[in-house]
A and B are shown apart, each in its own frame.
Chain A
Amino acid sequence: MKTGPTPSPLTPADAEIGPKPPLRRFHQARWDEPLLFELGTPGERGVLPPLSQVPADVVLPDGLRRAAPPALPELSQPQVLRHYLRLSQENLGADFNVDVGQGTCTMKYSPKVNDRFVRDPKVAGLHPLQDERTVQGVLEIMYRLEGLLKEISGMDRFSLQPGAGSAAIYTNVAMIRAYFAARGEAETRDEVITTIFSHPSNAACAKTAGFKVITLYPDADGYPDIEALRRAVGPRTAALLITNPEDTGLFNPRIEEFVRIVHEAGGLCAYDQANANGILGITRARDTGFDLCHFNLHKTFSTPHACGGPAAGACGVSAELAPYLPTPTVEFDGTRYRLDDDRPESIGKIRPFYGVVPNLVRAYAWIMSLGGAGLREAAEVAVLNNNYLMAKVLQIRGASVPYAPGRPRVEQVRYSWEKLAEETGVHSEDIGVRAADFGTHYWTSHHPYIVPEPMTLEPTESYSRAELDEYAAILAEVAREAYEDPETVRTAPHRSTVHRAREDVLDDPATWAVTWRAYRRKVLGG
C-alpha cells in the first residue's frame, strides 16, 4: 500500500501522474514573413562590396557578360538579420530542438568555434586555382587530417576530395573497379555483395558502376546471414560493401569472418563507416581486414550535414589500393606541401579541386580539440546515450525493437511502431509529425522499409540525459494520445507554421521549386 504524505487538495491531480519531465509548451513562431525578394526598397544597401580589382581595360567576352544587372534584393543588414531569424523560428532548426530522430543521418553538435576558423579570411578567401605555394596552410591541414584519419581507421592513405555518403561509396566502388581492371579481371569480377541493412547507397552505387548486386538478408538473430554470404561469394565476387554497425544498431560480431570469406574468394572488402559514431577509438577498419573504408565527416566528425549539399567524405585505402585514389593527393616532402596530379592509375577527379575545404577544416578542428581519448569518450557516450534512450522507448506502449530483441545496440536503433499502428491506426509518420508539436524532430530516414512502421533514433554524444528524458517523454505522450485520441495525432501538426506538407508535390519534379526563378515559373506562373 502506498505510504507518504497525502497529496494536498490544492495540488493538481496531474502533477502526480503527469509526464516527467513536464513537456514544454512549444509553439512554433508564426511570422507573415515576405520573401527576401519582396523586402527592401530600391537603392537600399546592406553592404558596400569592395571595388573590383580587375583592371578597367580587361574586356570580358560577350558570352560572360550579363544582358541586365542581376535582380538582387536591396535591403539593409538588420532587415536581413531579422528576416532570417524569423525564418529560423518557423522551422525546427538544429539549434532549437533535440533532433535525435534524424535517423541514420547523425546530427551532432558542430561547435560554433569551428565556424570561426572557417569564416577566417585565411580559409574563406582561398581560391581553388591559387598557386600551391600560396595555399601551404590549407594543404597542411588536409595532410594532417589525412594522418589523423589513418590513425583512426588503420588505413594507409586517404582522399578527402569525395563528397560524403553516396559520393564516397561511389569513389570506393570506382577504385574497386579500377583495381580489378588493372589485374585483367574487370570482366570476370562483376558482383558486389551487400546487406539489406547496409545503407542502400551501397547497392545503388555498385549498380551505377556496372556491378551486379547481391543483397544478404538477416539471419534469425538479426545479423547478416553468414551462410548466405558463403553461398553468394565466388570467382565473380568483386567486393563486399557493408555498413557496420548496420542501421539496426547491431554490430556484426562475425565481421572478421565475413572479410576472410570474401578475401578467400579473391574479393575486396569496403567498410561503410557511416555509423562510425559509436566505434571511434574502439575498432579500426584495417585491423578487421578491410581494404577500403569511408567516413562521412559531416556525421562522425561533427561538420554540418547540409542536406545533400556541401558534405565532405573521406575515403581510406590499404597501400595496395593507394594508386587508385582520386587525384590529386596531398604530399609532403619535409619542407613543402604539394598536390600530386601525376597518378597514372588514379580513378581521376571525383569532385572539383580539393573537395569541401571548410568542412575539412571543421573536422580537423574537432578531432584536434578532442584528442584520442576524447574521440573514444565521444563514442562511448554516444553508445551509452543510445542504450539509455532505448531502455526508455521500450517502456512505451506499442513500441518494439525487431531483430535481436534484448541485445544492446551501438549508436542507433531502428524501432517499430507496428503494434501501435495495428491497435490505433496511427502510423510512424503521424507520430513524427505530432512530435514536432512538442518541439522535437523525428524524420523518416529508415530505408529500406523492411521494418514495419519504422522509427530510427540516433542520440549521439551531444545530448544531455535531461534532453533524452524529454525526448522519450514526448514519444510516450504521443503514443498515449494514439491510444486515447488518435485523431489528434493523425491531424497533427497543430502548433506549426504550416500544416502537413503534401508529399506528392515534393516528389514531383514538375512542382519542385528549389530556386526563386523556379518558384516564379512553376508556382506563380511568371
Chain B
Amino acid sequence: MRIGLVVNPVAGLGGRVGLKGSDGADVQEKARALGATPHAAERAALALAELRSRIGGPFTVPTAGGPMGEDAVLDAGLIPDVRYRPGDPTTAADTVRAAAALAPHADLLLFAGGDGTARDVLDAVGASVPVLGVPTGVKMHSAVFGATPRAAGEAAALMAAGGVRIRDAEVMDLDEDAVRDGRVSARLYGHVRVPDVPVRVQQRKVGGTVTDPSSVRGIAAALAERLGPSELLVLGPGTTMRAVANALGADVPLMGVNVLAGSGTVVAADVAAAELEALAGTTPAWIAVTPIGGQGFLFGRGNQQISPAVLRAAGRDRLAVAATEAKLASLGGRPLLVDTGDEDLDADLRGHLPVLTGHGRFAMYPVR
C-alpha cells in the first residue's frame, strides 16, 4: 500500500500564541512576530515514525517538497518521492495542488494540518482516495483526524495491514474571524473517505464502533415505528442519518437536510430552510438529527436549514436526537451543543434530552 503525505507547514502556527487559527498570510505573519514556530512537520514525522515502527521500513512516501512533506519523511527515516514543489512561502493553493498531485500515487493520503487543511484536501481529492489527518492545527472539529499524530500513524498501519473499512467522515468549516470575535460559527463543509479506525476510543470488539451497523439499524427501526402514515421525517445531514434513510429504504444525499414520508419515499432532498418551513408548517414532522461526532453540535452547525421555525412547528416532543453509544463516548463527557440562532429556543432545548442510541434504548444526555 502506498501512503502519501502532505504537510501544511503553517498549520497550528496561531494556536500557541492565541490567534485561534492560522488562516491567511496576515495571521501567519502576526503569529511569527509573536514568536510562534512551525511544528507541523515535526508532528507529521511522529506519525510516520509510528507507522514505520509498525510496518517496518524504510519505504517510499509520495510527498511534496521541503516543509510540505519531504522534511518530515526524511526525519522519520523514510524515502521521499517528491511529486510537487511548492512556492516560498507556501499557501493554501499549494496544499490543494500538492494533494491533487499526490492522490494518483497514494492508496491513503495523510495530511498534517487542521480543519482548513482538511477543507483544502477535500477540494483537491474529494472521494478519489481515502485520507487521514495528522492533527497539527488549532481547530480540529472535522471527524477526519487521528486523536494524536501517533494514533494517525497507527491507523495508517492498520489500514496497510488490510481489513480496515473505509467510511465517510465530516469536514467542518469554522469561520476564524468569527471565533476571534468570540463567536463560534461552524458548518458542515463536506465529506471525505477515511479508514474506519476509532482511534479515540479503545479498539476492542464490543459491538459499538463508530459506524456500528446494528445500532444504526435499531435507530432507524425506532424512528420508523414512531412515524405516523401522514407524518414526515426530516433527516439532518451526516452519515448516521443517511444510514437511517437507507434502512428505511430511501437513498438521500449525504449533505443537506432531507425529508421522507412514512412510507420511506423521499419527499424532498437537500431542502432549503424556506422549503422545509413550508413542508413542516403544513404536515406534522419528526425532526431527526445526530450530533457532530467528537464535537457535539446538535443544531446550528451544518443543518441550519432546520430553522427555529421548523423546530417550533415540530415541537420538542417530535425532536428525535440519535447517536450511537460510541458517538456519545467520542464526546468524552462533554455536553451536546445547540446554537439555533434563537436564544429562547436554545434555552428550551437545554437541559437533558433523551438520545436514541438503538431500538428502545436511550441515553439521557445533557444539552448546553
Q: Which A residues fall within an 8 A CB radius of B?
A: 193, 196, 203, 207, 211-218, 225, 227-229, 231-232, 403, 421-425, 427-429, 444, 446-450, 452-454, 486-487, 503, 507
Contact in complex: B204, A217 (CB < 8 Å): no
A450 proximity list for chain B (CB < 8 A): 329
In angstroms, how far is the closest chain B Cβ from the Cβ of A437? 20
Which residues in window 290-347 of B have CB below 8 A to A? 325, 328-329, 332-333
Distance between Cα atoms of A215 and B200 in the complex (Å): 22
* Interface assignment of B205: CB less than 8 Å from any CB of chain A: yes
Contact in complex: A448, B206 (CB < 8 Å): yes
B352 proximity list for chain A (CB < 8 A): 225, 227-228, 231-232
* Interface assignment of B208: CB less than 8 Å from any CB of chain A: yes
Contact in complex: A215, B202 (CB < 8 Å): no
> Per a CB cutoff under 8 Å, which of B50, B360, B361, B365 touches A217?
B365
Which residues in window 165-180 of B have CB below 8 A to A? none
B148 proximity list for chain A (CB < 8 A): 422
> Per a CB cutoff under 8 Å, which of B150, B203, B351, B362 touches A214?
B362
Q: Closest chain B residue to A216 by CB distance?
A: B364
List, sorted by A's number, 22 A–B pairs whose CB atoms are closer than 8 Å: A196-B363, A212-B360, A213-B361, A215-B364, A217-B364, A217-B365, A217-B366, A227-B351, A228-B364, A229-B364, A231-B351, A232-B354, A425-B50, A425-B53, A425-B151, A448-B325, A449-B201, A449-B206, A449-B208, A452-B201, A452-B202, A486-B53
Contact in complex: A424, B202 (CB < 8 Å): no
Which residues in window 199-217 of B have CB below 8 A to A? 200-206, 208
> Per a CB cutoff under 8 Å, which of B150, B204, B328 touches A424?
B150
A216 proximity list for chain B (CB < 8 A): 363-364
Contact in complex: B206, A422 (CB < 8 Å): no
Contact in complex: B202, A212 (CB < 8 Å): no
B363 proximity list for chain A (CB < 8 A): 196, 214-217
* Total B residues in contact with A, Cβ cutoff 8 Å: 32
* Interface assignment of B154: CB less than 8 Å from any CB of chain A: yes
Q: Closest chain A residue to B351 by CB distance?
A: A231
In angstroms, how far is the closest chain A Cβ from the Cβ of B212? 12
A207/B366 contact (C-beta < 8 A), A225-B352, A228-B352, A449-B206 known: no
A212/B364 contact (C-beta < 8 A), A425-B50, A452-B202 known: no
Contact in complex: B151, A422 (CB < 8 Å): yes
In angstroms, how far is the closest chain B Cβ from the Cβ of A34? 32
Contact in complex: B361, A203 (CB < 8 Å): yes
* Interface assignment of B357: CB less than 8 Å from any CB of chain A: yes
Contact in complex: A215, B201 (CB < 8 Å): no
Q: Closest chain A residue to B362 by CB distance?
A: A214
Distance between Cα atoms of A507 and B53 in the complex (Å): 28
B206 proximity list for chain A (CB < 8 A): 447-449
18 additional contacts (CB under 8 A) given A232-B354, A423-B150: A196-B363, A213-B360, A214-B363, A216-B363, A225-B364, A228-B364, A228-B366, A231-B352, A421-B151, A429-B202, A429-B204, A444-B204, A447-B206, A449-B208, A450-B329, A452-B201, A452-B202, A487-B53
A449 proximity list for chain B (CB < 8 A): 201-202, 204, 206, 208, 329
Distance between Cα atoms of A215 and B352 in the complex (Å): 12
Q: Closest chain B residue to A212 by CB distance?
A: B360
Contact in complex: A218, B361 (CB < 8 Å): no
A429 proximity list for chain B (CB < 8 A): 202, 204
A225 proximity list for chain B (CB < 8 A): 352, 364, 366
Distance between Cα atoms of A421 and B147 in the complex (Å): 10
In angstroms, how far is the closest chain A Cβ from the Cβ of B296? 12
Distance between Cα atoms of A177 and B352 in the complex (Å): 27
Distance between Cα atoms of A421 and B202 in the complex (Å): 10
Contact in complex: A428, B153 (CB < 8 Å): no
Which residues in window 119-173 of B have CB below 8 A to A? 147-148, 150-151, 153-154
Best-buried of B50, B147, B200, B362 by chain A (most CB within 10 Å): B362
Q: Closest chain A residue to B325 by CB distance?
A: A448
B360 proximity list for chain A (CB < 8 A): 207, 211-213
Distance between Cα atoms of A428 and B354 in the complex (Å): 32
Distance between Cα atoms of A232 and B351 in the complex (Å): 12
Closest 4 CB pairs of A and B: A228-B364, A231-B352, A425-B150, A212-B360
Distance between Cα atoms of A212 and B151 in the complex (Å): 37
Contact in complex: A215, B357 (CB < 8 Å): yes
Distance between Cα atoms of A282 and B45 in the complex (Å): 55
Distance between Cα atoms of A446 and B329 in the complex (Å): 14
Contact in complex: B208, A452 (CB < 8 Å): no
In angstroms, how far is the closest chain A Cβ from the Cβ of B147? 7
Distance between Cα atoms of A454 and B204 in the complex (Å): 11
Contact in complex: B205, A503 (CB < 8 Å): yes
> Per a CB cutoff under 8 Å, which of A232, A425, A486 touches B153?
A425
Contact in complex: A218, B354 (CB < 8 Å): no
Q: Closest chain B residue to A195 by CB distance?
A: B364
B333 proximity list for chain A (CB < 8 A): 217-218, 403
Contact in complex: B351, A454 (CB < 8 Å): no
Contact in complex: A214, B147 (CB < 8 Å): no
In angstroms, how far is the closest chain A Cβ from the Cβ of B110? 15
A424 proximity list for chain B (CB < 8 A): 150
> Per a CB cutoff under 8 Å, which of B202, B205, B354 touches A427?
B202
Distance between Cα atoms of A216 and B361 in the complex (Å): 11
A453 proximity list for chain B (CB < 8 A): 202
In angstroms, how far is the closest chain B Cβ from the Cβ of A189? 14
Contact in complex: B328, A454 (CB < 8 Å): no
Distance between Cα atoms of A448 and B201 in the complex (Å): 11
Q: Closest chain B residue to A450 by CB distance?
A: B329
Q: Closest chain A residue to B222 by CB distance?
A: A212
